[in-house]
Amino acid sequence: MPEEPYVDAEPGSALETVIVPRTRDLGDGFEVRRALPSSRRRMVGPFIFLDQMGPSVLQAGKGLDVRPHPHIGLATVTYLFDGEVLHRDSLGVVQTIRPGAVNWMVAGRGIVHSERTPPEARVKANRLFGIQFWVALPGKHEEDAPSFVHTPVEALPVIQDHGLELRLIAGELFGERSPAKTQSELFYADVKLDVGTRLPVPSVHEERGLFIAEGQVEVGGESFGPGQLLVLRPGADVVARGGGATRSRLLLFGGEPMDGPRHIWWNFVSSSKERIEQAKEDWLAGRIGQVPGETEFIPLPEPEPNVPRYP
């Protein structure tokens, strides 16, 4: 579905824009929706990239196979609703992520990683459904040493209240703080709403987004469905309400505006175009790193991508 503009129903709407991403089939029935970056909005706070993976059922013997590829200037944040993914990187980390846990990988000055369905999960048909964000690093952290932290599901704060269940993935919200370490002030939460349950969205941060993963969500008297990203007006009082006939699930995220513009090319993010050019040369020359146990890699795209590609 092509992206469409959102037209305010009336002056003073709580919504700045609504992004309806296209769905791309990457083969074997595996679909991806990319909501950020968009022609309508490049970033929400430090969040510069948002991919929804699935929901898809991968047949026996099949799986996700994202070969080793590089990143600079960002942190990848992987969160699953269903399935499992095996992460390997050039630091030597090997970590399987499962629903409700968080993989937070800081690329900094450069890291290489792969993401694959584990061998044991390929024995039978396996369902995969999840979200990957990229968080742009502040200028003072763009060249930090790369790092990786896995936060298990049981370590994340959960708020439950009258038809609402909120798992705090990162940052601070409603008096709770996630143990996941971030490089800037932000918030990111997985929220489940029963039909009719209301969620007041805090306005502590200037830029806020609401991505609907499942079900229907009502905002300002309008109903929105799966795959839609609602960008909220700064400072606006917003209440999200579970709609439709079944429980809804959404991701609530945001933060302060970045400390300057960011360039994004393929898997590279930087405040400097020259730094991205250097990263291209480094990847071609094999200087960013190698993933132990991996023999494949994704080459630098040719021709150059106009927008970031899913590897």
Rounded Cα distance between 190 and 79, Å, is 9
CA torsion angle 44 37 136 292 (round to 10): 140
* Interstrand relation of 238-243 and 198-201 (parallel, antiparallel or unpaired): antiparallel
Report whether 141 belongs to an annotated binding site. no
Instruction: Answer left, alpha or beta for residue 252, where phi above 0 means left and psi between -120 and 50 means alpha.
Output: beta
Contact 4, 228 (CB under 8 A): no
Rounded Cα distance between 192 and 214, Å, is 9
Rounded Cα distance between 230 and 224, Å, is 9
Rounded Cα distance between 248 and 144, Å, is 38
Report whether 115 belongs to an annotated binding site. yes
Report whether 71 belongs to an annotated binding site. yes
Q: Please, which residues have CB within 8 angstroms of residue 59's CB and are 6 or more apart in sequence?
A: 28, 29, 125
CA torsion angle 194 129 189 145 (round to 10): 170
Q: Which two tokens stand for residue 44?
A: 């929400």
Report whether 69 belongs to an annotated binding site. yes
Binding site, annotated residues for Fe cation = 69, 71, 113, 115
Binding site, annotated residues = 69, 71, 113, 115
